[in-house]
């Protein structure tokens, strides 16, 4: 954005920018369920879901989630299993756990009312500067800025400046621009949402629709035709490959599951015992790792799961009865045992469904054809101020 020197001119330019985006948003906003009837709780849930997941997938999930847990208290008091089940299909289950943890804090500390100020919001589990700004401005009309991937791109293009959104100076510049912008807006929530909407639908990473843009006359990037250079295209990170050997162990009709660690893929979820390795491992190595004869293993299926940063090559094994009994004793206390019905209930990720579909027949009506935890979201992770 090219403005004359001086604070008043800058403020005037920011005010015009905000006004145009707010007017455009009132006219062009997509009809999304959480926009129909605003509530702080609805905004909190939608913001949690929209991080890393595309809007089309979030819409039905958001409606179902609010039917299941219509209030902060209902969410705080529900079992974790129910919350995770309601999160099915969205992936990144840690968000669901954080959301419930935040609901518990809100019930205890704020008597069930979601706080409106940024500082209190940022203290809640899973809520960073972006999410706090979004809830505070969209649900409560507070003059708080937000910076997510969409906002960053629009700001860089309007100002015709390439900054590194991962660097401290880049973050500072982006947050300052977002603050200047919201400071001059008429309706901070609408201005912020409009900015994000503009990034998601018009000022897209590739081929922005500048002819439909409400601020095209103020855009420094459009003026010099550098839309394909601002922001600088990121080099794609190489996707690593992980080999996962999932072992289906059954004793007396009950199946072994292990709760995964608190970080990484499927964090904290139940999964069949799985040995992971950056390279493919042989049946003999598998036997050695588990302390059993390699001949006890039979392959019952293979498939590939594409996650955001890596590709997981699954090989699913079954073991004979004697080995299963041995493993049950050897892993007493660390493996838990579940009947088929409860395994199905715990199989909330498509990867786990596919693992069991290899060994329990019929496990799912139809094996999912695409298994991916890959982000297709238009909303991209926020940048910390």
- Per CB under 6 A, residues contacting ligand SF4 are 154, 157-158, 202-203, 208, 210, 213, 215-216, 219, 221-222, 227
Instruction: Give the full edge-to-edge strand order of the sheet including 240-248.
Output: 274-277, 240-248, 310-319, 297-306
Residue 314, token pair as written in the block? 């699954």
User: Other C-beta atoms within 10 Å of 174: how many?
Assistant: 24
- Minimal distance in Å, beta carbon 216 to ligand SF4? 4
- Minimal distance in Å, beta carbon 236 to ligand SF4? 22
**Cβ atoms of 355 and 272 closer than 8 Å:** yes
- Minimal distance in Å, beta carbon 148 to ligand SF4? 15
Q: Which of 337, 280, 291 is nearest to 314 (CA)?
A: 280
- Minimal distance in Å, beta carbon 165 to ligand SF4? 16
Among 14, 22, 47, 197, the one annotated catalytic: 47
47: annotated active-site residue: yes
- Minimal distance in Å, beta carbon 153 to ligand SF4? 8
Of the chain, the end-to-end C-alpha distance in Å amounts to 22
Closest to ligand SF4 by CB, 157 vs 378, is 157
Closest to ligand SF4 by CB, 17 vs 48, is 17
Residue 380, token pair as written in the block? 């991209």
User: Other C-beta atoms within 10 Å of 10: how many?
Assistant: 15
Closest to ligand SF4 by CB, 26 vs 298, is 26
Closest to ligand SF4 by CB, 222 vs 315, is 222
Handedness of CA 274, 275, 276, 281 (dihedral sign): negative
Residue 375, token pair as written in the block? 């982000």
- Minimal distance in Å, beta carbon 215 to ligand SF4? 6
Please give the C-alpha separations between residue 132 and each of 125, 190, 352, in angstroms, as whole numbers. 11, 15, 33
Closest to ligand SF4 by CB, 137 vs 227, is 227
Q: Which residues fall within 8 angstroms of residue 315, CB to CB, at 6 or more apart?
A: 243, 244, 245, 246, 299, 301, 302
Please give the C-alpha separations between residue 123 and each of 106, 120, 319, in angstroms, as whole numbers. 11, 5, 47
d(CA 46, CA 64): 12
- Minimal distance in Å, beta carbon 187 to ligand SF4? 20
**Would you call the peptide bond into 332 cis, given omega within 30 degrees of 0 as the criterion?**
no
Hey, is 243 helix, strand or coil? strand
Phi/psi for 104 (5° steps) reads -65, -40
Q: Which of 293, 300, 295 is nearest to 272 (CA)?
A: 300
d(CA 202, CA 105): 38
Return the active site residues: 47
């Amino acid at each position: 954005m090219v403005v004359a020197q001086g604070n008043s001119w800058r403020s005037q330019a920011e005010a015009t920018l905000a006004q145009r985006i707010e007017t455009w948003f009132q006219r062009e906003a997509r009809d999304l369920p959480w926009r129909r009837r605003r509530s702080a709780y609805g905004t909190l849930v939608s913001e949690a879901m929209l991080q890393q997941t595309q809007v089309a997938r979030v819409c039905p999930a958001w409606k179902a989630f609010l039917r299941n847990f219509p209030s902060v208290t209902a969410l705080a008091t529900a079992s974790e299993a129910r919350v995770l089940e309601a999160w099915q299909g969205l992936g990144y289950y840690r968000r669901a756990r954080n959301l419930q943890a935040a609901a518990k804090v809100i019930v205890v500390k704020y008597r069930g009312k979601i706080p409106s100020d940024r500082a209190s919001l940022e203290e809640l589990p899973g809520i960073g500067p972006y999410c706090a700004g979004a809830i505070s401005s969209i649900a409560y009309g507070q003059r708080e800025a937000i910076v997510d991937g969409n906002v960053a791109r629009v700001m860089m293009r309007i100002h015709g400046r390439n900054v590194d959104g991962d660097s401290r100076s880049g973050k500072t510049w982006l947050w300052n621009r977002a603050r200047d912008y919201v400071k001059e807006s008429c309706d901070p929530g609408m201005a912020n949402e409009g900015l994000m909407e503009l990034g998601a639908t018009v000022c897209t990473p590739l081929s922005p629709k500048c002819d439909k843009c409400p601020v095209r006359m103020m855009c420094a990037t459009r003026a010099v035709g550098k839309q394909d250079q601002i922001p600088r295209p990121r080099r794609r990170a190489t996707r690593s490959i992980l080999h996962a050997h999932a072992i289906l162990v059954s004793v007396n009709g009950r199946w072994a599951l292990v709760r995964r660690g608190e970080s990484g893929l499927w964090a904290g979820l139940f999964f069949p015992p799985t040995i992971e390795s950056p390279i493919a491992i042989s049946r003999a190595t598998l036997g050695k790792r588990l302390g059993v004869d390699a001949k006890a293993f039979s392959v019952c299926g293979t498939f590939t799961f594409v996650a955001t940063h890596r590709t997981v090559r699954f090989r699913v094994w079954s073991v004979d009865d004697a080995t299963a009994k041995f493993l049950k004793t050897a892993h007493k206390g660390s493996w838990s045992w579940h009947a088929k019905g409860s395994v199905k209930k715990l199989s909330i990720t498509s990867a786990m469904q596919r693992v069991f579909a290899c060994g329990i027949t019929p496990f799912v009506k139809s094996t999912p054809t695409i298994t991916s935890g890959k982000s297709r979201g238009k909303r991209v992770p926020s940048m910390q101020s």
